[in-house]
Amino acid sequence: MELETRLGTLQVNEEEIIHFPVGILGFSEYHRYVIVEQEGSAFSFLQSVDDPELSFVIIMPELVCADYSVQLRDEEVDLLQIQSPEDGKVYGIVTIPENVAEMTVNLQAPVVINAKSLVGAQFIIQGDKYHTKHNVIAEMHKNAYLLQKQSESQEGEEKIQESV
Amino acid sequence: MLVLTRKVDQSIMIGDNIRIVVVDVRGDQVKIGIDAPRDVMVHRHEVYEDIQAENQRAALKRQIDLGVLERTIRESKPRKG
């Protein structure tokens, strides 16, 4: 099937369409999406098949926030027919304002997709650790700082081992 | 709006599959239990509205070049503090 989207003409194969039984919150009438990846980019598009005008930019949350993890509730696991943790792919929806540097990612309501059964849903994480507007660039810098610290401490450990 | 009076442990059915139970009442706080099918999402109203509004903002209104996003990140400097 061919779709005329903001991204241009997209060739969509039936077998790559992800079904959202509940829909994205606020867009509950749309149930079919495809993920459009771009080589070399951390970002992808979540493109509606039902409405070619509707698309979102998404990113894997762990690229923004290294310790991000989602604990699905039983009914969410059931809804997505997830059998093992590897089945689930998690994405955060990115909001891009006029000033691109101010882009934010919604870590409170990630999109979770079962890559095997191609069923997806947007879930809301309980608790107040995550909210709807994490500044992508600020979080990435925090991440880079943490990663650097981690690699430094690993090097430290290696040195200790060498000296033993 | 339909308004019903219920006591603790009493419940309300919405259709055949959704049951709402008053679990506890203390002062101006009410604890509510909800039994619903798995494809019915249950959320606090303010959280639901917040996420719906964020999704509306995130839905692309213009063409976005992912390369521009990548470049913006590469060229950004850590904020002080």
pLDDT in tens, B25-51: 999 999 999 999 877 878 889 999 999
Question: Predicted confidence band at B81 (pLDDT cuts at 50, 70, 90)?
Answer: very low
| pTM, 2 dp | 0.84
| Closest approach of B74 to chain A, Cα-based (Å) | 9
CA atoms within 13 A on the CB side of A113: 24
Residue A144 contacts residue A64 (beta carbons within 8 Å): no
* DSSP secondary structure code for residue A17 in this structure: P
Three-state SS string across chain B, please? CCCCCCCCCCEEEECCCEEEEEEEEECCEEEEEEECCCCCCCCCHHHHHHHHHHHHHHCCCCCCCHHHHHHHHHCCCCCCC
Asked if A10 has any chain B CB less than 8 Å from its own CB, the reply is no
Residue A90's closest CA among A74, A75, A68? A68
Instruction: Tally A–B CB contacts below 8 A.
Output: 100
Please indicate, yes or no, if residue B79 is contained in any of the structural domains: no
| Closest approach of A107 to chain B, Cα-based (Å) | 10
| Rounded-to-integer distance, Cα B44 and Cα B26, Å | 19
* Chain B residue at shortest CA distance from A42: B70
Range of the domain at A41: 2-163
Please indicate, yes or no, if residue B15 is contained in any of the structural domains: yes
ipTM of the complex: 0.85
3-state secondary structure of A122: strand
pLDDT of residue B79: 63
Nearest to B57 among A79, A95, A109 (CB): A95
User: What CATH number corresponds to the domain at position A42?
Assistant: 2.30.290.10
In the predicted model, is pLDDT for residue A158 greater than 70?
A: no
Please indicate, yes or no, if residue B44 is contained in any of the structural domains: yes
Range in A89-93, A117-121, A131-135, A143-147 with the lowest mean pLDDT: A143-147
pLDDT of residue A74: 85
The count of domains in chain A is 1
Range in A124-138, A143-157, B13-27 with the lowest mean pLDDT: A143-157
The count of domains in chain B is 1
pLDDT digits (tens, 9 = 90+) for A54-94: 999 999 999 999 889 888 888 888 889 999 888 899 999 99
CA atoms within 13 A on the CB side of A38: 19
Q: What is the dihedral of CA A11, A15, A21, A22, to 10 degrees?
A: -40
Please indicate, yes or no, if residue B2 is contained in any of the structural domains: no
| Closest approach of A100 to chain B, Cα-based (Å) | 7
Please indicate, yes or no, if residue B3 is contained in any of the structural domains: no
CA atoms within 13 A on the CB side of A44: 17
* Chain B residue at shortest CA distance from A137: B73
Please indicate, yes or no, if residue B58 is contained in any of the structural domains: yes
In the predicted model, is pLDDT for residue B80 greater than 70?
A: no
In the predicted model, is pLDDT for residue A111 greater than 80?
A: yes
pLDDT of residue A148: 65
Residues 6+ apart with CB under 8 A from A37: A44
pLDDT of residue A78: 87
Touching B: A residues 65-84, CB under 8 Å: 75-76, 78-79
